[in-house]
Amino acid sequence: MRNIFLAGSTGSIGKNALEVALAYPDRLAVKGIAAGHFTAELKEQIIRLNPLYCILPSRAESNKAKTALKNFKGVETKFTFGEEGLHEAVLDDAFDIVLNAISGSSGLMLSYRSLAAGKDLALANKESMVMAGDILNAAAKSSKAEIIPVDSEHSALFQCLRCGAKSDVNKLILTASGGPFYKTDKADFKRITVDMALNHPKWKMGKKITIDSSTLANKGLEIIEACFLFNMDEKQVDVLIHPQAAVHSMVEFKDGSVIAQMGEADMKGPIGYALSYPRRFNGLMKPLNLAEIGNLEFFAPDNEKFPFLNLARYALRAGKSMPAVFCEANEFFVKSFLDGKISFNKIAGNVEKVMQGHRPFKLSGIEDVIEAKRQAWSLSETLIK
């Protein structure tokens, strides 16, 4: 039995993770949850799960949850809030594994504290690995915890890499559906609305990651994440546009063999693998019907139209604090676009300006990552005032 602390329980990943856990009650139990707000959906989760902990961002949200559930018999959940609430929860021996599905850079400290506490980390929060990959890897090594990726692409790579020795790997190949705009002329990007950018052709996800997919910033972040997760040079990570989203990623070995991981566009697959690793669940999702798909297409991405791919590679080459700044600046300008403050075609250009204005410094500890986040946010603010 694996006892799970699930952070981001009302988001897309969180809801899928709950479905997986409830489908295999003899092997999984969600013993703690965290969410961004107290909602009717979260209330239902608490009543159904009776978790040991429910963590919310603020005292006010936590008190709201306490009040709403005080008369429900059988609910013995401890309601707490903020970073300290999360820290208290991950230190509890009741949990074997933390599934971090918090959106954006706010998931950083949960990833770090989970690994420092010796808890295995099922990682859906790619931003924490992008910003602090070396620090998270060192924490995992020190505590003998494992980092198991939940992103569909990195889960695919994680599975494919089991087919050979690390020394036999030639390169990693990340696939991208291309989002809604891979066939759109760059000249038309300035007319892209928020609703258009949120209309992903294959995946149902949160707003931030959906915008990242439309700009291919998501793939830039995934290049950085893959390098940190699998100890690869950025030259060993390629990207291919694959509109059918059936091949989730591939590994090319030195003998020329290419191993691909395929499946339905269903996040229950990578979530289930992370929670069952090294075993697999029976009947987790619908098998892939290749005859029904018919054709599998692959295209090289247009780096001029989607500059985030080159910006990510530049961040890796610059090293030090630059990946964290790349990540935080992108988060700032995605929010600015969603809030109607900038146009779609300004997101990447503004991120580049922030990176050009940043002087990279060494990341010796998690506090340095937080300082890089602060500097990136401060620089970003100057561009929209």
| 3-state SS, one letter per residue, for 346-367 | HHHHHHHHHHHHCCCCCCCCHH
pLDDT at 202 over 80: no
pLDDT at 204 over 80: no
Q: What is the pLDDT of residues 298-331, one digit of tens each?
A: 999 999 999 999 999 999 999 999 999 999 999 9
- pLDDT at 363 (0 to 100): 98
Helix locations, 55-125, DSSP H: 59-69, 82-91, 108-116
Rounded to an integer, the average pLDDT of 61-71 is 93
| Residue linked to tokens 């602090």 | 132
Q: How far apart are CA 267 and CA 214, in angstroms?
A: 18
C-alpha distances (whole Å) from 167 to each of 65, 224, 231, 253, 271 are: 51, 20, 11, 9, 28
Residues 6 or more apart in contact with residue 56 via CB below 8 angstroms: 34, 35, 36, 37, 38, 62, 65, 79, 80, 81, 85
Work out the angle at residue 128's Cα, subtended by the Cα atoms of residues 127 and 132, and round it to the nearest 5 degrees: 120
Q: What is the pLDDT of residues 283-292, one digit of tens each?
A: 999 999 999 9
pLDDT at 201 over 80: no
Instruction: From 297, 316, 317, select the one nearest 226 (Cα to Cα).
Output: 316
Q: How far apart are CA 149 and CA 270, in angstroms?
A: 8
Structural domains for the chain: 2-149 (3.40.50.720), 154-187+194-265+287-302 (no CATH), 319-385 (1.10.1740.10)
Residues 6 or more apart in contact with residue 304 via CB below 8 angstroms: 186
Q: How far apart are CA 369 and CA 324, in angstroms?
A: 7
Is the Cβ–Cβ distance between 350 and 342 less than 8 Å? yes
Q: What is the pLDDT of residues 230-279, one digit of tens each?
A: 999 999 999 999 999 999 999 999 999 999 999 999 999 999 999 999 99
> How many percent of the chain have pLDDT more than 90?
92
